[in-house]
Structure 1
Amino acid sequence: MTAAVDLDTILAALADPHRRRVVDLLRIEPRRAGDLAEAIGVSPPAMSRHLKALRGCGLIEESHPAFDARVRVYALRPEPMAHLKAWLEETERLWSLQLAAFKAHLEAGT
């Protein structure tokens, strides 16, 4: 997958408010799917779909505690968020340059 595809997939996953809430909750600590569903107020099947989308773009990872392989614990992965942050910083830098050039153009014309 290319970086552009990764970014598109990440942004698409984060477009859903439930998924953004999952990310907010996982920033605090890893959680089980049932705990996430309860905290957000969605059904287990709906939570499963949201987690699948977040796993698909690499934002979260799934692990199993040693005491019970049936339990799934979800945690954030920092790499995709760092990629998104870098893209946002570059976009902000480009906009700042464009706005500064536009301001200079307007000031020179008056």
Structure 2
Amino acid sequence: MDVAVDEIMVRFGKLGIKAHDLDVKLFGGGFTIDPERKDAVRDIVDVGRKNVSAARDSLAKHGLKVMAEDVLGRRGRKVFFLTATGEVWVRPVSAEAGDLDSSLF
């Protein structure tokens, strides 16, 4: 059972923050298993897809709409988030350390 979004919304509610005051951005869920084994094990171990689905369901339950996302795919990702501005940069895990994806969310 997913309770993270429920708990966050309770805490935000105590601070007077409403769902319509939030910008939601969703990242993750890459399926990084060896490509030769993917089809054989996808239904069993595709935790990323299940997590993305659960996150979307939980967000929708609270009336939260995803404004930007970078989900699923074949690679993990590193997310850089500036809390003061809400800016987010995403870089595939296998990229060189100095290469940020040009995607700004």
Same fold (TM over 0.5): no
User: Higher helix share goes to which structure?
Assistant: 1
Q: TM-score range by the shorter chain?
A: under 0.3
User: Higher strand share goes to which structure?
Assistant: 2
TM-score by length of 1: 0.25
Higher relative contact order (CA 8 A, sep 6+): 2
TM-score by length of 2: 0.26
Give the number of the structure whose alpha-carbon radius of gyration is greater: 1
